A = this chain, B = another copy of it.
Amino acid sequence: MTTSRRAPGAATEPRLRHLVRATDRQRIERVLRSTEMFRADEIEIAGELVDERLAQGDASGYHFLFLERAGETLGYSCYGPIPLTLGSWDLYWIAVDPGRHRHGLGRRLLDETEQHAATAGARKLFVDTSGRAEYLPTRAFYEGCGYQVAARLVDFYAPGDDKVVYVRDLG
């Protein structure tokens, strides 16, 4: 029998990781399923972006940030420059395991994403979300993080399901 000793809390401090690995597709899909906010086809597309990143690197246009604790993925973001713009970036995906909510993890992930994007040349970060009632907490999250509604496209996702475009100036 062996025992291990660690400084209290050292193993439970979430850490950030940028490097993308082949196993991240599964990790991402698990996080997205855990939120119960995404359809299977949406999760499929989110997962494909990992493969594109692995195949093409920065040329894929997709950057990732993973928030992990003790080897477990608590959340992630996927973001990148919008082609044919000078300094407009898109936050394609951000999700945190709901069991980990209310500890500021989503906000920390978004803050770190903004900092990384700004360092890489982003002037503005755009994020699209749904206008449906189920997305009220999502919209409240962005608004609480300093995002403003830039546009609302009626019936964009489907009849009765608007697209709401948020933006934050990173300047």
Asked if A158 and B87 sit within 8 Å, CB to CB, the answer is yes
Say whether A113 faces chain B, with CB atoms less than 8 Å apart.
no
Say whether A135 faces chain B, with CB atoms less than 8 Å apart.
no
Say whether A86 faces chain B, with CB atoms less than 8 Å apart.
yes
Say whether A22 faces chain B, with CB atoms less than 8 Å apart.
no
The copy count of this chain in the complex is 2
| Residues of B close to A126: CB separation below 8 A | 153
| Size of interface on A: residues with Cβ below 8 Å to B | 24
| Residues of B close to A124: CB separation below 8 A | 155-156
Closest 8 CB pairs of A and B: A151-B151, A86-B158, A85-B157, A150-B153, A88-B156, A42-B84, A151-B153, A45-B83
Given contacts A45-B84, A150-B151, 20 further A-B contacts (CB under 8 A): A41-B84, A42-B84, A84-B157, A85-B156, A85-B158, A86-B157, A86-B159, A87-B158, A87-B159, A88-B155, A123-B155, A123-B159, A124-B155, A124-B156, A150-B153, A151-B151, A151-B152, A151-B165, A153-B165, A153-B167
